[in-house]
Amino acid sequence: MTTAFEYARGKALPDVAWALEWLDTVGFTLTAQQGGEHEGFGNVFLQFERGDIGVQITRDRLQWMVVISPPGQKNYPGLNVLLTAMEGGEPEPGPHHVPFSEPLPDQLPEGVVWRSAIPAVIEWMEEADRAASIADSDRRWRKAMIRWWKEV
């Protein structure tokens, strides 16, 4: 029987597979794993840690997602929240016109390349205390999503 990590590597999109390998090469340790071929939809959960930074990669209903815990924090903001905190700008939840019958994106956030975004966000978080910027971005994303759902 394969582990959840081995299963994930075999099913991962190229960008996700790159992230899994990169985490290993820069000293992250796999600390938790569950799911795999025996799970519905082939769902997988992988948790990596290096020092006080955590990275969780999930495959849920064929969609790959990543969340990252900043140093000294126990919450795991989404990559979209962290990128908005790092780059500035306003949250952009996306268009409303996509019908629910259309396939969901394979990787989230949609259009974000993990191989550049994950290393950049981790480096940015390690440079200084980013808690206030991340909390502000999280608040703004929550408000943007509430507005988005009201418009649907």
Domain boundaries, the chain: 4-90+101-151
Residue-wise pLDDT tens digits, 27-77: 999 999 999 888 877 799 999 999 999 999 999 988 999 999 999 888 999
How many angstroms from the chain centroid is the CA of residue 32? 16
| pLDDT for position 140 | 96
Among candidate residues 112, 118, 114, 104, the one with its CA nearest the CA of residue 12: 114
Give the separation between CA 110 and CA 96, rounded to whole angstroms. 14
97 has pLDDT over 90: no
Among candidate residues 136, 137, 133, the one with its CA nearest the CA of residue 125: 133
Give the separation between CA 101 and CA 82, rounded to whole angstroms. 29
Give the separation between CA 36 and CA 14, rounded to whole angstroms. 18
Single-letter code of the amino acid located at 44? V
Average pLDDT over residues 142-152: 87
CA distances for 5 relative to 17, 79, 133, angstroms: 11, 21, 32
pTM for the model stands at: 0.92
Average pLDDT over residues 99-128: 91
| pLDDT for position 152 | 67
Confidence category of residue 1, pLDDT binned at 50, 70, 90:
low
